[in-house]
Amino acid sequence: MQLSTRNLLGIKDLTKEDISLILSTAEQFKEVLQRPVKKVPSLRDVTIVNLFYENSTRTRFSFELAEKRLSADTINFAASTSSAAKGETLLDTVNNILSMKVDMVVMRHSASGAPHFLAQHIPAAIINAGDGINEHPTQGLLDAFSIKESTGTLEGRKVAIIGDIMHSRVAQSNIYLLKKMGAEVTVCGPPTLIPKYISEALGVNVSYNLKETLEWCDVANVLRIQLERQNQVLFSSLREYSLAYGINRTLLDSLHKEIVIMHPGPINRGVELDSDVADSKQSIILQQVENGVAVRGGSFLPSRRKSRPPPFKNGKARTSGAPPSQFLLLIEKKATIHPKKKPNPTRETTK
């Protein structure tokens, strides 16, 4: 099966079937990652450039690791050490890279819509690793994967997204995905950090009361305050914010049920989450990081060009271009050892 769209630019562009395909592929890839031999040849002979114009730890490392696990050839680009620092345009930079025969581009950029602009001008497939305050589709996918893994299903789940909703691309991708998969979503935070018409535009509930929101939800996805994107003062201080919207152990213990705590990272400990919450048994934050490799690998595989065979068959990984008889390389749990042929005792030896 293939995605309905050639590029993975945002959750908004995906169908429910697309999302299910990526999540099921990620589930198979995660099983491969638990094996002693974690590398499979599914993207052999495919060259991918990681084009990051913003800082990143989890996203960049998980993309790079997924690419290596799938046997892709990778090029890592950092704007601060490239000709972009000398004034080279985005399009010129990418066209120069593509002239080296690159097949796919993973892109993060501070400008909303940058991957969409690039998709209109280059032939390579593009995966959006976050653009401005617009979307972060693979984060939305891995959050959904983690919720499904932790609670069993997405449909009917009550998910609260808490914090800086206005400046968060993670919030928007999560809302699009969860609504498409049948979950209920409530956003919670200070009125100055929640877009005015979000309820009408995206079909979510809005709450300004943290305790009531936590009592309602099954899963709380907590976001950091993105001070670097705020060009005006939107709340009095981080201390005031923490007192009103920070989650601590006392607050969690006062709830009438146990909820799942998530965070896309990086965590500002002592602001949106206290350490005894972030490191508690209710937290699946490190599972989110682990799932990032599987989901980003799962995002590559269904989006390859249609001339290539599907990445998995009967639970086994395939290479990107080899015929089916050559696919089952490096993925068996135990290698098949062919014994050496024993000499024929009846055969006479000629001196």
Confidence of residue 3 (pLDDT cuts 50, 70, 90): confident
| Of the residues 288, 309, 342, the one at which a domain ends | 288
| Alpha carbons 216 and 186: distance in angstroms, whole number | 9
* 53, part of any domain: yes
Evaluate if residue 315 carries a pLDDT over 50. Answer: no
User: Based on the domain organization, do 259 and 294 belong to the same domain?
Assistant: no
For position 302, what pLDDT does the model report?
Answer: 72
Enclosing domain of residue 27: 11-134+290-326
Q: What sign does the CA torsion over 326, 331, 332, 335 have?
A: positive
Q: Is the model more confident about 345 or about 298?
A: 298
Q: Give residue-wise pLDDT tens across range 107-146.
A: 999 999 999 999 999 999 999 999 999 999 999 999 999 9
* 178, part of any domain: yes
User: Based on the domain organization, do 17 and 145 belong to the same domain?
Assistant: no
For position 111, what pLDDT does the model report?
Answer: 94
Q: What is the mean pLDDT of residues 266-285?
A: 96
Domain CATH for 204: 3.40.50.1370
Confidence of residue 171 (pLDDT cuts 50, 70, 90): very high
User: Based on the domain organization, do 142 and 278 belong to the same domain?
Assistant: yes
Q: How many domains does the chain have?
A: 2
User: Based on the domain organization, do 108 and 206 belong to the same domain?
Assistant: no
User: Based on the domain organization, do 276 and 184 belong to the same domain?
Assistant: yes
For position 328, what pLDDT does the model report?
Answer: 28
* 297, part of any domain: yes
* 154, part of any domain: yes
* 146, part of any domain: yes
Neighbours of 96 (CB within 10 A): 12
User: Based on the domain organization, do 141 and 108 belong to the same domain?
Assistant: no
The answer to whether 121 and 105 have CB atoms below 8 angstroms apart is no
For position 349, what pLDDT does the model report?
Answer: 46
User: Based on the domain organization, do 92 and 27 belong to the same domain?
Assistant: yes
For position 304, what pLDDT does the model report?
Answer: 60
User: Based on the domain organization, do 88 and 190 belong to the same domain?
Assistant: no
SS3 labels along the chain:
CCCCCCCECCHHHCCHHHHHHHHHHHHHHHHHHCCCCCCCCCCCCCEEEEEECCCCCHHHHHHHHHHHHCCCEEEEEEHHHCHHHHCCCHHHHHHHHHCCCCCEEEEEECCCCHHHHHHCCCCCEEEEEEECCCECHHHHHHHHHHHHHHHCCCCCCEEEEECCCCCCHHHHHHHHHHHHCCCEEEEECCHHHCCCCHHHHHCCEEECCHHHHHHHCCEEEECCCCHHHCCCCCCCCHHHHHHHHCECHHHHHCCCCCCEEECCCCCCECCCECHHHHCCCCECHHHHHHHHHHHHHHHHHHHCCCCCCCCEECCEECCCCCCHHHCCCCCCCCCCCCCCCCCCCCCCCCC
User: Based on the domain organization, do 57 and 152 belong to the same domain?
Assistant: no
For position 44, what pLDDT does the model report?
Answer: 93
Evaluate if residue 327 carries a pLDDT over 80. Answer: no
Average pLDDT, the chain: 86
Evaluate if residue 288 carries a pLDDT over 50. Answer: yes
CB half-sphere exposure, 4, CA atoms < 13 A: 11
Q: Give residue-wise pLDDT tens across range 85-114.
A: 788 899 998 989 888 889 999 999 999 999
Q: What is the mean pLDDT of residues 41-57?
A: 93
User: Based on the domain organization, do 161 and 279 belong to the same domain?
Assistant: yes
User: Based on the domain organization, do 150 and 257 belong to the same domain?
Assistant: yes
Confidence of residue 303 (pLDDT cuts 50, 70, 90): low
* 336, part of any domain: no
* 340, part of any domain: no
Q: Measuring CA to CA, which residue among 307, 306, 309 is closest to residue 319?
A: 309
Q: Give residue-wise pLDDT tens across range 178-235.
A: 999 999 999 999 999 999 999 999 999 999 999 999 999 999 999 999 877 777 778 8
